[in-house]
Amino acid sequence: MTLHSFPHNFLWGAATASYQIEGAWNEDGKGESIWDRFSHTPGKISDNSTGDVACDHYHRYQDDIALMRRLGLKAYRFSTSWTRALPLGRGRLNPSGLDFYDRLVDALCAANIEPFLTLYHWDLPQALQDEGGWENRNTCHAFADYAALLVKRLGDRVKYWTTFNEPSVVALDGNLMGEHAPGLQDPRVAFQVAHHLMVAHGLAVQAIRAANPSLEVGIVLNLWGADAASEDPADVAAANVAWERSETHFLDPLFKGHYAPYAYELLGDNMPKIQDGDMALIAQKLDTLGVNFYSRNLITADGNIDPVPGSEYTEMGWEVCAPALRRLLNRINKEYRLPPIYITENGAAFKDEVSADGKIHDPRRLDYLKNHFIQTRLAMQDGVDVRGYFVWSLLDNFEWGHGFTKRFGIVRVDYETQQRTIKDSGEWYADVIKNNTVME
């Protein structure tokens, strides 16, 4: 047996996002977001569900924090709903919405759980979308004002701040593929959105620092990496091109101060409008980088291998390949000058069954997490500075276009009764946290 011990202050946590768990979509003065509008549009969500109630976390946050204590979480990553704070995205405040996050943060602090707050996990105010959404540069300024408002309210207790969760998903799934809100399919818009998300990030970093210079500020990117299928030079070259195309679009501007040369070739007429000063604004020094990792791309000179023969797949259709996480961490660590890294999401959707004893035996999820924890520890031994790990997700929840059909939680949610049950993977995770060690 091998024991993988982690540094004593390693931040073990779990993650969620406002729209996926809160529910209470129109309560206590909350405004409509693009995800409210999208999920209410027939045909957009595979099981015709909405996040109107979701896990009802808005009303049950105290119970959920009690669960976090039972798991022994040291940190909790959540996102704030912009329209709870500012129903129209700017202007009039909604005091009850701000009070909710106040109470949530107080309860986390009382439970000795470090709050790790994301300002934007995809639920843009619909009122701003009506003015063009992220295609409209004014939205960037509204976002910076919203960031400053939240920091003034919560910055005395919340130390870790994330501007955006997964800008590429916002730009591409929402505005190119149309599978996420706002459901557009327009390459020109999508790449302008991508650039404006970066501008908004830069403005928000400035606003957060101006409001409170002692905070840790970062961004969260979803990275897949691009593994070459063999050492054949043609496969290696193809994998390098795939890396450039899939992974550098945000890493380069954030950490090198310019877009990758490929972007100009690839985007052609769809290259966004960039104003003087934008690149310096985007490349401000950060305190953290969040990496969301679920799966990898496997590349040959003839294209992607998918499915990979012999590999295990999750319910999302994503290949399970933990060693790819170690390779990815080493690669970004070598190619960029990065701040400390947090794995801000990692986890797996599997079909869970409640057994006769009422338990949820989910060995595949447990193994998935175990192997990814070990590969992260190995990457740390290779020299990558990883400070914490957030399992996706604390709770089964509303998985965007898939509705409630994909369960990622280490805690099961019965959506009829809202009953929560810690799965085997959750019990196992509690032991990992308690011992600060993963047993192989």
Which amino acid is it at 121?
H
Nearer to ligand FCB, 94 or 292 (CB): 292
C-alpha to C-alpha distance for 10 and 34, rounded to whole angstroms: 36
Judged by CB under 6 A, which stretch of 161-169, 175-183, 211-219, 303-311 contacts ligand FCB? Answer: 161-169
Nearer to ligand FCB, 122 or 143 (CB): 122
Which amino acid is it at 370?
K
Nearer to ligand FCB, 260 or 391 (CB): 391
The residue from 11, 14, 17, 324 that contacts ligand FCB (CB under 6 A) is: 17
Nearer to ligand FCB, 235 or 345 (CB): 345
C-alpha to C-alpha distance for 176 and 283, rounded to whole angstroms: 25
Site string for ligand FCB, 91-130 (x = CB under 6 A): ----------------------------------------
C-alpha to C-alpha distance for 382 and 365, rounded to whole angstroms: 26
C-alpha to C-alpha distance for 390 and 73, rounded to whole angstroms: 9
Regarding 35 and contact with ligand FCB (CB under 6 A), the answer is no
The residue from 22, 32, 166, 319 that contacts ligand FCB (CB under 6 A) is: 166
Nearer to ligand FCB, 278 or 399 (CB): 399
Q: Which of residues 280-339 bind ligand FCB (CB under 6 A)?
A: 292
Beta strand 341-345 pairing with 3-5: unpaired
The order of strands in the sheet holding 226-228 is 226-228, 297-300, 303-304
Residues catalogued as catalytic: 166, 345
* In the complex, minimum distance from the CB of residue 357 to ligand FCB, in angstroms, rounded to a whole number: 28
Q: Which of residues 201-230 bind ligand FCB (CB under 6 A)?
A: 222
Regarding 22 and contact with ligand FCB (CB under 6 A), the answer is no
* Best CA proximity match to 118, nearest among 255, 288, 282: 288
* Run of H or E residues at 422: strand 419-422
Structure tokens at 129: 């979308």
* In the complex, minimum distance from the CB of residue 392 to ligand FCB, in angstroms, rounded to a whole number: 5
* In the complex, minimum distance from the CB of residue 407 to ligand FCB, in angstroms, rounded to a whole number: 11
The residue from 36, 345, 362, 396 that contacts ligand FCB (CB under 6 A) is: 345
* Best CA proximity match to 225, nearest among 290, 321, 344, 316: 321
Q: Is 249 left (phi over 0), alpha (psi -120 to 50) or beta?
A: alpha
Regarding 408 and contact with ligand FCB (CB under 6 A), the answer is yes
Cβ atoms of residues 385 and 430 within 8 Å: no
Regarding 165 and contact with ligand FCB (CB under 6 A), the answer is yes
Q: Is the peptide bond prior to 393 cis by the omega test (within 30 degrees of 0)?
A: yes
Structure tokens at 164: 């955006």
Regarding 163 and contact with ligand FCB (CB under 6 A), the answer is no
* Best CA proximity match to 307, nearest among 223, 298, 392: 298
* In the complex, minimum distance from the CB of residue 348 to ligand FCB, in angstroms, rounded to a whole number: 9
Q: Is 231 left (phi over 0), alpha (psi -120 to 50) or beta?
A: alpha
* Best CA proximity match to 295, nearest among 278, 314, 268: 314
Which residue's Cβ lies closest to ligand FCB?
Answer: 17
Regarding 164 and contact with ligand FCB (CB under 6 A), the answer is no
Buried b (16+ CB within 10 A) or exposed e, 140-155: bbbbbbbbbbbbebbb
Judged by CB under 6 A, which stretch of 98-106, 163-171, 307-315, 431-439 contacts ligand FCB? Answer: 163-171
Regarding 169 and contact with ligand FCB (CB under 6 A), the answer is yes
Q: Which of residues 57-96 bind ligand FCB (CB under 6 A)?
A: none
Cβ atoms of residues 93 and 87 within 8 Å: no
Nearer to ligand FCB, 153 or 296 (CB): 296
Judged by CB under 6 A, which stretch of 162-170, 278-286, 301-309, 321-329 contacts ligand FCB? Answer: 162-170
C-alpha to C-alpha distance for 329 and 224, rounded to whole angstroms: 10
Residues found near ligand FCB in the complex (CB under 6 A):
17, 20, 165-166, 169, 222, 292, 345, 392, 399-400, 408
